[in-house]
Structure 1
Amino acid sequence: MMSVMETAAEFSRLLGPLRRSVLRATRNAEGLPDLPEAQIELLRALVAAGPLSPGEAARRLGVANSTVSNLVKAMTNSGLVRREQAPGDFRGVLLAPTDTALDLLDRYDRTSSAALAEAIDRLSPDDRAIMAEAVPVLRRLTAELESGRGG
């Protein structure tokens, strides 16, 4: 049995390739645009929380304000994010996904779920059962990391 450190190291090594494989399968399956993962994550944050200030978006993503600024510039130019005036604050700006972005995100989610389902279906019944049991554990692991107790 692997130690906690060995498990963590192996899991860490697998996360990037797994994420890239899912994105590659998704893009190839439906001819979706090659959105950088950071743009997808910003869209997910905007959908989950509603319109956000750039500073709040940076905090939620755990990135620098300048990173969000660069993302927003590119995403505004490509019609994925719109800037709205913050209620009661003439200088404040809120970021919101456009209808185009919502449609793309929905297509990414549907296609990535289908690609993952096909791959999981090719696993053995025992492996599929382990995958199903792992989902709540991965959800709790994500919560631990996001709460700041994970490192």
Structure 2
Amino acid sequence: MAVEEAEPFDDSFADVLAGVQRLIRRRLRRGLTVPRLRGAHIELLRLVTTRPGIGVSAAAKELYLAGNSVSTLVNQLVRDGYMRRETDPGDRRSARLYATPAAVERLRDWQRRRAALVRDQVARLDAADRAALAAALPALRRLAENLHEEAEES
């Protein structure tokens, strides 16, 4: 790729993506009646919900976090009633992680609220901007897949 082609995708591209994510999180925190969960808590809960019984080390690898960081997150989520940890019957030194019904409901509520927020904000854009965002989704998904694959390789 020529340098001229890459210019629109310098730090400003990553800054916009991070800024949108940060603003969505801030807006979703408004009106919460329960203590907020940090992004790492949400990521771990989403992973455990999609892969019930995942182990701590596998979760750490999947999230690109240190094992002790994931252990700390697990302890906090267990304490708060959002996760349960069970001893792995095949290896008594390992734990299997499961989201509680409270966590599943909280994630559903968060996803519902996030979808409504994004849908409402996108609806405020003009037709050309909505079409541009829709057209960009496949490329953004591939970008995310590439980043994920590259992280797994390293």
- Compared CA separation, residues 134 and 67, structure 1 to 2 (3 A): same
Q: Report the Cα distance in structure 2 between the residues aligned to 1:100 and 1:128, rounded to whole angstroms.
A: 35
Offset of residue 25 of structure 1: 1.7
1:82-121 equivalences in 2 (<5 Å): 82-121=84-123
The SS at the match of 1:123 is coil
Structure 1 stretches lacking a partner, 5+ long: none
Offset of residue 66 of structure 1: 1.2
The SS at the match of 1:85 is strand
- Encode CA deviations 1:89-119: one digit per residue, 9 max, x unaligned: 2222111111111100000000000000000
Q: Report the Cα distance in structure 2 between the residues aligned to 1:63 and 1:78, rounded to whole angstroms.
A: 21
> 1:47 touches 1:97 (CA, 8 Å); kept in 2?
yes
Instruction: Please report the RMSD computed on the Cα atoms of aligned residues, expressed in angstroms.
Output: 2.0
Offset of residue 10 of structure 1: 1.2
- Compared CA separation, residues 98 and 5, structure 1 to 2 (3 A): farther
Higher relative contact order by CA 8 Å / sep ≥ 6: 1 or 2?
A: 1
Which residue of 1 is the match for residue 53 of structure 2?
51
Structure 2 stretches lacking a partner, 5+ long: none
Aligned residues: 150
Q: Identify, as 1 or 2, the structure richer in strand.
A: 2
Give me the identity figure in percent.
Answer: 32
**What is the TM-score with the length of structure 1 in the denominator?**
0.90
Which residue of 1 is the match for residue 135 of structure 2?
133
119-128 vs 44-53, which moves further? 44-53
